[in-house]
Amino acid sequence: MPLNKALMITSEMRQAEAKAALVAHVAQKRWEKEVGGIEINGLTVATDDRSKMMISGARLAAEADPGFTTRWKSGGVFVTIDAPAVIAISNAVLAHVSACFALEAQVQADIEAGTITTVEQIDAAFA
């Protein structure tokens, strides 16, 4: 029976599949880090998508009214934050998210370059 080369899995195909799995793992690790929250001056700030949307809304209010204050829940405790604090929190969240995507881009480039070849290396990069 003749060999059907169209059904063969080549080493290049295996390498491409392995690389795709690593890239998917990088995206997952970036997302986990992105939504994992941050701490700003002792205040725990959630960075899940809903929280980021609420922070953006609070920032708009803070920019419109320098006297703006709001009650915010942080680490299970309610705190009052003023307009400058809201803006600082928003800036910190933006910096956090930007850093997460920059790290994802760098790790993905390292995968493409062949300098990162394992899930453990990816996990270490995001630790």
Residue 110 lies in a domain: yes
Residues 6+ apart with CB under 8 A from 39: 45
Burial code (b: 16+ CB inside 10 Å, e: under 16) for 95-126 equals ebbeebeebbeebbebbeeeebeeeeebeebb
Residue 105 lies in a domain: yes
Residue 9 lies in a domain: no
Residue 60 lies in a domain: yes
Number of domains in the chain: 1
How far apart are alpha carbons 64 and 14 in whole angstroms? 55
How confident is the model over 114-118, as a mean pLDDT? 96
How confident is the model over 40-58, as a mean pLDDT? 96
Predicted confidence band at 7 (pLDDT cuts at 50, 70, 90)? low
pLDDT-wise least confident of 5-9, 24-28, 87-91, 118-122: 5-9
C-beta separation of 57 from 68 below 8 A: no
Token couple for 43 = 């205040």
Residue 28 lies in a domain: yes
Residue 3 lies in a domain: no
pLDDT in tens, 51-71: 999 999 999 999 999 999 999
pTM of the entire predicted model: 0.87
Which residues constitute the domain of residue 83?
22-125
Would you state the pLDDT for residue 75?
Answer: 87
